[in-house]
Amino acid sequence: MSQPIVDLSKFQATGTETCFHGRHIGAQIYDGLDGKNWSLKDYEARGGYQALRKILNGGNGAEPMTPEQVIAEVKTSGLRGRGGAGFPTGLKWSFMPRMYPGAKYLVCNSDEGEPGTCKDRDILMFNPHIVIEGMAIAAFAMGIAVGYNYIHGE
């Protein structure tokens, strides 16, 4: 009998929050949306783009990271998506076949397709560089050269 890739029994909805292995993330979705990260200068002053620089250039005498090292570090970090399922980001990135010979595209879904959701709009309005940096890191980790940020047409 085949085993599932992801055990969905570990994800449960509890009211307006989502719980992952006992960790509630309701308020964490809005971290960094205080309006102080809008400009590139402000974002960098608060540590923005340091992760991307570390990956591409190394740091403290370290070598630049490989895509595999980036995925391993993201898995270790416990980073999860901001959608309703909060899927583990590093696990999702590891599914991408790196040796695929054709074009690969990164799509950031900022559509706010979930009922009553307005987090995507706020992230893009108040902290757009976190999306750009995240997309650049994801593209590097998965060997992708072209990315799109999908937004709702309204």
- The 8 Å CB, 24+ separation contacts for 107-115 are 107/147, 107/148, 107/149, 107/150, 108/134, 108/135, 108/147, 108/148, 108/149, 108/150, 109/83, 109/150, 110/149, 110/150, 110/151, 110/152, 111/150, 111/151, 111/152, 112/152, 113/152, 114/83, 114/84
pLDDT score at 57: 94
**Residue type, position 72, single letter:** A
Q: Taking the model in full, what pTM does it have?
A: 0.75
> For 62-80, what is each residue's pLDDT tens digit?
899 999 999 999 999 999 8
pLDDT tens across the length of the chain (154 residues): 445 444 445 444 444 444 444 444 455 555 667 766 678 998 898 889 999 999 999 877 789 999 999 999 999 999 988 776 788 999 999 998 878 889 999 999 888 776 666 677 788 888 889 899 999 999 999 999 999 999 877 6
Q: What pLDDT is attached to residue 25?
A: 46
Name the residue ranges covered by the structural domains of the chain: 8-151
Residue 93: what residue type? W
* CATH code for the domain defined by 8-151: 3.40.50
